[in-house]
Structure 1
Amino acid sequence: MAQPGTGTTTREAIRTAATRLFQERGYAGATVRQIAAAAGADPALVIRHFKNKELLFLETMHLTIDDEPLLDVPVEVLGERLIDLVLGLDGGAQGVFLALVRGSNEPEILRRLKDTHEKVLIEPLRARLSGPDADIRARLAASVAAGLLHSLWVARDETLLGADRSTLVTHYGALIQHVLTPPLSGARPAGTPSVAGSSFL
């Protein structure tokens, strides 16, 4: 089998192949032999450079969101901005998200998934909030956004997939906004759950 010329090019070829195959097939579906074949390398070189498949997965699967758009808008429209940002994620982000979810039965990958959820969704929201319940409000809002990604990318909800983007931004944005800036106790619509101890920002 033809080998790339240097250790650096071999490593990069393996990383590139692994990124594509993990996104396409998930952690369990992409084998070391398949990754090596796609990289034009011997399987032993995958182990030499990355120790094992799990470490290779963790090195190649990173999900990030530019949080600047969440910092330059009034808090009162933060819900819609977050959903618009989430819906604008590209196919690469979808592949990483799916790979992390599908591989989450592995403890280290589960930790990466939890860390990604914390850093990508919760921390940027919490940075915009104040009050003793800022953390729980950020986590509730993040769970709504993550739930939308799950519905679109994992469950493949046909109704949501077929919905107009502006409709999703409006409705999901309102759900998140209600958590981020909840109405005063007693002023909320009947039947709307409250967040205990919530306060205006």
Structure 2
Amino acid sequence: MVRRESGRTTREEIRLAAARLFRERGFARTSVRDIAARAEINPALVIRHFGTKELLFLDTMHLNLDDEPLLDVPLESFGERFIEVLLSTEDDIRGVYLALVRGSNEPNIAARLREVHETAFVAPVRARLSGPDADLRARLAAAVVGGLLYALWVVEDPGLGAGRSELVARYGALLQEVLTPRG
């Protein structure tokens, strides 16, 4: 692999350029030529290193939620903390989430979106729950969170423009009801 002046390899430069463009524009509106131009390389090198634009997309679009802040709160406060963590890392999560949603008409990208749903939203919640319906409650909670992200980032619902603390409190309470139902 060729080393660039910055010490990065050509492959790393391609990954960085692609990740940025996919987050900004999405899968369909990003071309191999755009990626190559951003990385300052020949477009043939993109294909040489990654095979296809879709494989490059799948290589770069991962959504990882730091679940460390979710481990030190009592379950009764988990709903609000989960929403708070999601919204405090919005810039990190938003671009990847939107790129995955917008590209989900491609089967492999849809599969990655399902994987992200499972690993970033269902698994951290399920890890905190117990009981025979723990998996169902975790999946319902993930659906609630997914609805919030859709409303905020896909349709950009102006009615949710309330202050972040109010959104965290109200949506956290809604999520909490799914996690620890009253009866």
The two structures share one fold, judged by TM-score above 0.5: yes
Say which SS state the counterpart of residue 63 (structure 1) adopts.
Answer: coil
1:113-152 superposed matches below 5 A: 113-152=113-152
Amino acid at match of 2:169: T
Tell me the distance in 2 between the aligned counterparts of 1:111 and 1:57: 13
Say which SS state the counterpart of residue 47 (structure 1) adopts.
Answer: helix
Kept in 2: contact 1:80–1:170 (CA 8 A) = yes
Alignment partner, residue 199 of structure 1 = none
Kept in 2: contact 1:79–1:174 (CA 8 A) = yes
Alignment partner, residue 164 of structure 1 = 163
Amino acid at match of 1:92: D
TM-score, normalising length: structure 2: 0.94
Tell me the distance in 1 between the aligned counterparts of 2:52 and 2:178: 42
Tell me the distance in 1 between the aligned counterparts of 2:20 and 2:92: 9
Q: Which runs of 5+ in 2 are unaligned?
A: none
Say which SS state the counterpart of residue 9 (structure 2) adopts.
Answer: helix
Tell me the distance in 2 between the aligned counterparts of 1:83 and 1:164: 13
2:59 matched to 1:56? no
Amino acid at match of 2:181: P
Q: Where does structure 1 differ by over 6 angstroms across 4 or more consecutive aligned residues?
A: none
Alignment partner, residue 16 of structure 2 = 16
Structure 1 residue 9: Cα displacement: 1.8
Point out the structure with max Rg over C-alpha.
1
Give the total of aligned pairs: 181
Tell me the distance in 2 between the aligned counterparts of 1:110 and 1:40: 30
Alignment partner, residue 92 of structure 1 = 92
Alignment partner, residue 47 of structure 2 = 47
Tell me the distance in 1 between the aligned counterparts of 2:150 and 2:86: 12
Structure 1 residue 135: Cα displacement: 0.4
Structure 1 residue 22: Cα displacement: 0.5
Q: Which runs of 5+ in 1 are unaligned?
A: 185-201
Tell me the distance in 2 between the aligned counterparts of 1:143 and 1:89: 19
Tell me the distance in 1 between the aligned counterparts of 2:66 and 2:24: 24
TM-score, normalising length: structure 1: 0.86
Kept in 2: contact 1:75–1:128 (CA 8 A) = yes
Structure 1 residue 81: Cα displacement: 0.6
RMSD over aligned CA atoms reads 1.8
State percent identity of aligned pairs.
63
